[in-house]
Amino acid sequence: MIRAGAAIVDITPPPGLAMSGFAARALPAKGAHDALTVRAVVVGDTAVVVADVIGIDAAISARIRERSVLPAENVVVAALHNHGGPVSMVGRLSIAADPAYMERLEDACVAAIDRAAAARRPATITAGQGSDPGIARNRRHPGGPVDTSLPLLRIRDEKGEMIAVATAYACHPVVLAADNLLWTADYPHFVRQVLEETYPGAVALFMTGCVGDANTGHSAHASISVAENPDRSFAAAERIGRKIAEAALTAAEQPVSGTVKARNGTVTLGFERRETEAPDVLENRWREEALTAEPARKSLLGYWADWACGIAPVEPQPLPERVTVLDWGGVPIIALPGEIFAETALAIRAALGADRLAFVIGFADDNPGYIPPASEFQFGGYEVDEAHRYYGLAATFAPGSAETLAACAIRLADETSGGGKAA
C-alpha cells in the first residue's frame, strides 16, 4: 500500500493588508469571506502543497522545498491563483509585499508539508475523470479551446476513511472582481467545501489548471473596473464551485498501483519585447492619459508608467523555470510555472494519450506571468502585450517558451511511466 497524509494550515491575513490580483483595486482588505489556507497532500515521499495566494515565486518555493522533511526534488509548491488574497510575491504584481506575511506564508507551507508527512498512514488511491462542468470559457477567442479535464483522486486509509480528495480544473479563480475587498479563495473555496461535506474528515485539495486564457467568460480588460457585477459575486462563485465539485464527484473509482515517482527538469525561457516605442515615450504618454482617466484606468496607467520608468529599460535575462512530474500510482501530476494556456495543456494531454488520466497544473514553483503558446502572439491582447508590465518583467516571454515547457513535461512524464526515480 501507499502511505499518504494530508494537512491544512490557516494563512488568513488580518484586515488592512493590500490585496493582489487587480490593478484597478486600490483599497486594502476589510475582512474575510472565507479562510485562506495552505493544503498539503503527501503520497509516499512526494508532496503537492497549494497556497491560497496569487503566486509563490521561485526563491520562496525553493526554500520551502529545502526546509521540508521530504526530498526537495519530490515537492511541488503551487499557488491557487485566487485574486482575493494578499500580496505574495516580492517585486511582482506592482504592490509591495508585507515582510511579516511573507515569512508566515513560507512557514505555513513548510508546516503543512511536514504535518502531512507526519500523518502518513497506509492508504489506497482511486482515480477517475469527472464530467465536464461546462464552466470554463476561452476569454481570448469565443468558442476557443479550454481544458475540460476534471480528474479526481480519492485517498483512503486501511479503515476506508478518506484522507484526502484531490481535483484540478482549468478556470481562472477570478469570479470575484476588483470591487471585492474580502479575503477569499474564490470558487475553489466552494469546490473544496462540497468535497469535504461529502467526505467528512478529508482534506480537499484543489489544484488550478492551465488557465492563462480561461475564465467564466469575461475578458481580461473587463476587470479594469471597480463596478459591481452580479455575475461576479459570492453567490455566483458558490454556484460555479458547487457545479464543479458535483461534476468531479461523478468520477468513477479505478484503483491505482502502489508506485510513486518524481522527476524534475529545468528549462530556460527567453524574452521578446512587444513595445516598439522607447520607455520614456511610453511613460510620458501614460502619465498624460492618467490625468483625465477614470479611477480604475488611472490606477492601471500608473503601474504601466512606473514600469516604463523603472523596469522597461532593463535588458531581460533568460529565466530558468522548474518543471516537475509526480507519478502517483500511474496518475501523473504535471506541474508547470506561471499562467499557461489551454493549447499547451491540451498538447501535453495529447502526447500522453487521450485516455490517460492526468493532472496538468499551472502556478507551480513560480509564477512569473503569462507564457503564451506561439500561435497566440499574432493576436496580441492583455496576456501577450500588457501583462508582463504588471508582473514586473521587462518583456513578454518569447514565442516557443510554452512549447519548451511542454516538451520538458512530456519527457518527464515518459520517464516516470517508463521507470523514473521512485520516491
The CA-atom distances, in angstroms, between 168 and each of 150, 210, 298, 303, 326 are: 6, 10, 36, 32, 15
> Are the CB atoms for 151 and 358 separated by under 8 Å?
yes
Q: Report the amino acid identity of residue 122.
A: P
Query: What is the residue whose three cell numbers read 493590500?
Result: 18
Q: What is the dihedral of CA 383, 50, 216, 228, to 10 degrees?
A: -90
Q: What SS3 state is found at 325?
A: strand
Euclidean distance between CA atoms 228 and 343, whole angstroms = 32
> Are the CB atoms for 98 and 16 separated by under 8 Å?
no
> Are the CB atoms for 49 and 78 separated by under 8 Å?
yes
> Are the CB atoms for 8 and 114 separated by under 8 Å?
no
> Are the CB atoms for 164 and 43 separated by under 8 Å?
no
Listed in sequence order, the residues at least 6 apart from 150 whose beta carbon sits closer than 8 Å to its beta carbon are 129, 130, 131, 132, 133, 167, 168, 169, 244, 247, 248, 251
Q: 76 pairs with which residues across the strands?
A: 48
Q: Which helix (H) or strand (E) holds 6?
A: strand 2-10
Grid cell in block for residue 36: 485562506
pLDDT at position 103: 98
The CA-atom distances, in angstroms, between 100 and each of 11, 62, 64, 86, 388 are: 12, 19, 16, 12, 27
The CA-atom distances, in angstroms, between 390 and each of 20, 138, 301, 370 are: 11, 21, 10, 11
The CA-atom distances, in angstroms, between 314 and each of 243, 281, 310, 392, 400 are: 46, 16, 8, 11, 22
Q: 137 pairs with which residues across the strands?
A: 215
In the chain, domain spans: 2-258+322-374, 276-310
Name the region of 317 (left: φ>0; alpha: ψ -120 to 50; beta: rest): beta
> Are the CB atoms for 78 and 323 separated by under 8 Å?
no
DSSP assignment letter at 291: T
> Are the CB atoms for 331 and 153 separated by under 8 Å?
yes
Grid cell in block for residue 45: 515521499
Rg (CA), the chain: 20
pLDDT at position 94: 81
- Among residues 142, 205, 204, 140, which one has the least CA distance to residue 339? 140
Euclidean distance between CA atoms 180 and 226, whole angstroms = 8
**Residue-level pLDDT, tens digit, the chain, 423 residues:** 799 999 999 999 999 999 999 988 989 999 999 999 999 999 999 999 999 999 999 999 999 999 999 999 999 999 999 999 999 999 898 889 999 999 999 999 999 999 999 999 999 999 999 999 999 999 999 999 999 999 999 999 999 999 999 999 999 999 999 999 999 999 999 999 999 999 999 999 999 999 999 999 998 888 888 889 999 999 999 999 999 999 999 999 999 998 999 999 999 999 999 999 999 999 999 999 999 999 989 988 999 999 999 999 999 999 999 999 999 999 999 999 999 999 999 999 999 998 899 999 999 999 999 999 999 999 999 999 999 999 999 999 999 999 999 999 999 999 998 754 545
Euclidean distance between CA atoms 37 and 50, whole angstroms = 8
Distance from CA of residue 82 to its chain's centroid?
8
The CA-atom distances, in angstroms, between 218 and each of 171, 198, 203, 223 are: 12, 31, 31, 8
Query: What is the residue whose three cell numbers read 499547451?
Result: 344
Euclidean distance between CA atoms 283 and 189, whole angstroms = 39
User: Hey, how many other C-beta atoms are within 10 angstroms of the C-beta on 404?
Assistant: 18
Burial 195-224 (b: 16+ CB within 10 A, else e): bbeebeebbbbbbbbbbbbbbbebebeebb
pLDDT at position 420: 45
Q: What SS3 state is found at 304?
A: helix
Q: Which helix (H) or strand (E) holds 311?
A: none
| Total residue length of the chain | 423
